Each structure stands twice: as structure tokens, then as C-alpha cells.
């Protein structure tokens, strides 16, 4: 191999590798301490903290308490919380195939038993732009949309007819007119609201996958990834030391969050 060829290869890879050696993109803003078993954040940087007894507390971006919901264990252990719309909060109880919808002050709006709609196995679920619910029915291998009463509004064809092997989705995000479904082994599948596949992005093996603002976020092996679909730009940065032993990581367009035992660090994301 010639020297010029070797230099060309190095030049190609260095722009991606170099950012991963730095963590100057993360500035610690504050640390929230207390009984924190899990958490999530919305696009206004409100923080939703679930404690060990099942209480859900909402904090604003400054860290002040806004609301509390105490009946989170009514249907067992909550499996997933979607706060993509700060005005509505979706709680999903996988063991009971039940969805509970809350308002912005964490008051109950309604409850949906998916089993009454003949939906028994769901891993990926999330809010739609119009306050309905997207879910992936794993038994029927279909993406479905239901209303607040559980009524079926839309469903795709069986994904086994579209793909050689039906994906196993772990995440659904409705964002900027598209639905992003994530399979850790196969990548990101982007659909329109009519169920047509518009794009497939080979971002595999990511943990803490999230679509927020202009970016798709994730992390793997002590590296932080920020991908911009509109420009195809993938940024790779080293995670700060405080993230590397974190139990849970989350992102918004401006902040990053790392949970360790009873301690939540909030970083400004540059």
C-alpha cells in the first residue's frame, strides 16, 4: 500500500474518530438527588422521576416540583413512559397490556386495556402527533394507530410481507411528519403516516435511542452519537466519565441526563 493511499484512508476516518476523544460538548449543570428508580424528560426539559415506591413526580427545567401521580402501580410496574407531548403523558404497563393517559399535571385522562382490542403483545408504543397512540403489535407484525378509547384507526399490512424477516422494534417516535421505529439489530425504519417505508438508516446497536429536535440520539461503548437525518451527519463524542456507570441515559435537543443510584446529573449539550 502506498503512503498516499494510507494517508487517504487515515484522513477519511480521523474526522469521525477525533470527536470521540473529547467530552467538551457536555457541561454539568446540576445534580438532582433522592429516591430515583427511573426517569424521562420531555422536549421542554421537564423531568419525570419515578421513585422506588411507584410515585411519579414532574419537575420543571429548573428542578422545581410541578405535579405528582401516586397510582402508578395500580396495574403493576410501569414499563414505559412517553412524554413527547408535555401536555399528555403516556404510561404503559406491559404485564397488563394497559395504557394510562395523564394530563400535564399528571391527572388521569383515561385508561385503555389493549387486550379488549385483541392486542396482547406490545414492546414499542408511543404518542402520535395528534394525541393518538402508535404501537407495534408483535403477534400480528403490524404497526397500528388507536385513539384514546382504544379504537383501531389504522394498521399496516403484515410486516412479514414487506421484509424477509419481521423487525423487532423496541422504540416508536412520531416526529416531524414521520414515524421512527428502532430495531437494535436492523437499524431505524422511517415510515410516513400511511405506513409506507420512506427510509432505513443503518444505526445499529445503540442504547437509549431517542429522536428529539433535529437529531437521533444514542450511545454505545462509552461513545455518544448524534445523527442529523436532514444532512446525514453523524457526530461521535466520548461520553463523560459520569455517564459510563450510569443506569439510564436520556437526551433532549439541548441537554443530556445520566442516572446513577439516587443521583441524576443534568448536562448542557453543546
Does domain 19-269 sit in CATH 3.40.50.9100?
Answer: no
C-alpha cell, 191: 415510515
**pLDDT above 70 covers what percent of the chain?**
91
Tell me the pLDDT of the chain averaged across its residues.
89
**pTM score of the predicted model:** 0.86
Q: Find the length of the chain.
A: 270
pLDDT confidence tier of residue 188, bands split at 50, 70 and 90: very high
For 11-55, the pLDDT digits (tens) are: 333 333 334 444 467 899 999 999 999 999 999 999 999 999 889
Cell matching residue 46: 421537564
Rounded to 5 degrees, φ, ψ at 112 are -125, 125
pLDDT at residue 150 in the model: 94
- For residue 199, give the 3-state DSSP assignment: strand
Query: How far is 82 from 85, CA to CA, in rounded Å?
Result: 8
Please give the DSSP secondary-structure letter assigned to residue 259: E
Residue 3: beta bridge partners? none
Q: What is the pLDDT at residue 24?
A: 61
Average pLDDT over residues 58-76: 91
Query: Which candidate, 200, 122, 226, 110, places its Cα nearest to that of 168?
Result: 122
Contacts of 7 (CB under 8 A, 6+ apart): none
Query: What angle is formed at CA 180 by the lines to CA 174 and CA 183, rounded to 5 degrees?
Result: 140
pLDDT at 253 over 90: no
Predicted confidence at residue 165, as pLDDT, reads 86
Element (DSSP H or E) covering residue 112: strand 108-113
Which residues, at least 6 apart from 32, have a Cβ–Cβ distance to it below 8 Å? 47, 49, 59, 63, 263, 264, 266
The percentage of the chain sitting over the pLDDT mark of 90, rounded to a whole number, equals 78
* pLDDT-wise least confident of 19-23, 64-68, 159-163: 19-23
Amino acid at each position: 500500500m502506498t503512503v498516499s493511499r494510507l494517508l487517504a484512508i487515515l484522513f477519511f476516518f480521523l474526522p469521525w474518530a477525533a470527536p470521540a476523544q473529547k467530552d467538551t460538548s457536555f457541561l454539568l449543570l446540576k445534580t438532582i438527588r433522592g429516591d430515583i428508580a427511573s426517569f424521562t424528560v420531555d422536549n421542554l426539559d421537564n423531568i419525570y422521576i419515578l421513585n422506588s415506591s411507584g410515585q411519579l413526580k414532574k419537575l420543571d427545567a429548573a428542578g422545581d416540583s410541578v405535579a405528582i401521580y401516586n397510582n402508578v402501580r395500580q396495574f403493576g410496574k410501569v414499563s414505559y413512559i412517553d412524554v413527547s407531548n408535555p401536555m399528555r403523558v403516556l404510561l404503559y404497563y406491559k404485564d397488563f397490556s394497559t395504557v394510562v393517559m395523564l394530563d400535564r399535571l399528571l391527572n388521569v385522562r383515561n385508561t385503555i386495556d389493549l387486550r379488549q382490542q385483541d392486542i396482547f403483545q406490545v414492546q414499542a408504543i408511543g404518542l402520535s402527533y395528534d394525541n393518538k397512540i402508535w404501537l407495534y403489535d408483535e403477534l400480528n407484525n403490524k404497526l397500528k394507530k388507536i385513539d384514546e378509547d382504544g379504537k383501531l384507526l389504522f394498521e399496516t399490512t403484515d410486516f412479514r410481507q414487506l421484509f424477509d424477516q419481521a423487525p423487532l422494534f423496541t422504540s416508536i417516535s412520531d416526529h416531524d411528519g414521520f414515524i421512527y421505529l428502532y430495531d437494535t439489530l436492523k437499524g431505524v425504519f422511517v415510515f410516513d403516516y400511511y405506513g409506507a417505508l420512506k427510509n432505513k438508516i443503518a444505526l445499529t446497536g445503540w442504547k437509549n435511542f431517542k429522536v428529539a429536535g433535529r437529531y437521533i440520539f444514542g450511545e454505545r461503548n462509552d461513545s455518544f452519537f448524534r445523527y442529523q437525518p436532514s444532512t446525514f451527519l453523524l457526530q461521535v463524542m466520548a461520553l463523560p466519565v459520569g455517564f459510563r456507570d450510569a443506569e439510564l441515559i436520556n437526551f433532549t435537543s439541548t441537554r443530556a441526563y445520566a442516572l446513577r443510584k439516587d443521583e441524576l446529573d443534568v448536562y448542557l449539550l453543546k
